[in-house]
């Protein structure tokens, strides 16, 4: 049985900002309500590597989302460098050999394999040459290969989580981006996410964490959105019992 995850760590807040100072302002603003933060490519290049230590000192967990994709040895060496820092999760992208290279160098970090970006749909897969394949089929295939390679978990849309749990089981992490508050679930787009879902639906299907950025960051009352999302998560957890 996997250990229980505290409610304040169920939401991974995406620090999609352009400076460490802006990130610190969000950490101060969200306070004890959020205990897990994601540093993506933008903030990482803007000084986010040093910020990892600061987040850890504040008692927060960190997910570094660089979606590393390169030759196996380069990914292995990059993961080895990241493993020197207090990072809980980091992401890699690509075939089984890349995942194996990352797993070999992970140290105490957990490696998450990206399946299919939540901004992708079937047309995007066709642009990549994957003609006539279903998005869910690709997600499940990549997830199974990642688990076979020793990966700790995957990043996947909430739309594929339930079937993934049915086919692969509970012995791995699922982190789900593309989350929108339930009150906005029936509204059209406004961003690039094509396979979005609600926090409640993702958790009910079997996700461990949800990644949320703009719905919190762009809200007039960010803490109110956090509390709404946490209520959705609690409802999802109760429904899955």
Closest Cα partner for 41 from 66, 75, 20? 66
Tokens of 189: 């787009």
Contacts of 17 (CB under 8 A, 6+ apart): 23, 26, 42, 43
Closest Cα partner for 26 from 229, 196, 234, 226? 226
* Contact indicator for 36, 209 with CB cutoff of 8 Å: yes
> Does 67 qualify as catalytic in the annotation?
yes
| Helix orientation angle between 96-104 and 135-148, rounded to the nearest 10 degrees | 40
Catalytic-role residue among 38, 67, 217, 227: 67
**Angular region, 75: left φ>0, alpha ψ -120 to 50, beta rest:** alpha
Closest Cα partner for 208 from 230, 176, 169, 182? 176
> What are all long-range contacts of 77-81, with beta carbons under 8 Å and residues at least 24 apart?
77/105, 79/105, 79/106, 79/109, 79/111, 80/105, 80/107
- What residues are annotated to the active site? 67
């Amino acid at each position: 049985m996997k250990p229980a995850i505290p409610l304040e760590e169920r939401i991974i807040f995406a620090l999609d900002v352009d400076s460490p100072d802006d990130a610190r302002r969000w950490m101060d603003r969200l306070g004890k309500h959020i205990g897990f933060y994601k540093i993506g490519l933008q903030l990482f290049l803007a000084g986010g590597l040093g910020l990892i230590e600061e987040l850890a000192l504040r008692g927060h967990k960190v997910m570094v989302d660089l979606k590393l994709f390169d030759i196996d040895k380069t990914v292995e060496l990059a993961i080895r460098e990241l493993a020197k820092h207090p990072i809980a999760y980091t992401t890699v992208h690509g075939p089984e050999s890349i995942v194996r290279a990352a797993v070999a160098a992970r140290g105490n970090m957990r490696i998450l394999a990206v399946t299919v970006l939540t901004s992708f749909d079937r047309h995007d897969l066709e642009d990549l040459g994957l003609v006539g394949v279903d998005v869910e089929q690709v997600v499940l295939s990549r997830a199974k290969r990642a688990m076979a390679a020793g990966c700790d978990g995957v990043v996947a849309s909430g739309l594929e989580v339930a079937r993934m749990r049915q086919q692969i089981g509970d012995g791995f992490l699922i982190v789900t981006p593309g989350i929108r508050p339930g009150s906005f679930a029936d509204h059209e787009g406004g961003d690039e996410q094509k396979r979005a879902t609600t926090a409640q639906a993702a958790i009910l299907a079997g996700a461990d964490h949800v990644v949320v950025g703009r719905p919190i960051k762009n809200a007039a009352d960010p803490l109110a959105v956090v509390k709404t999302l946490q209520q959705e998560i609690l409802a999802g957890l109760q429904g899955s019992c």
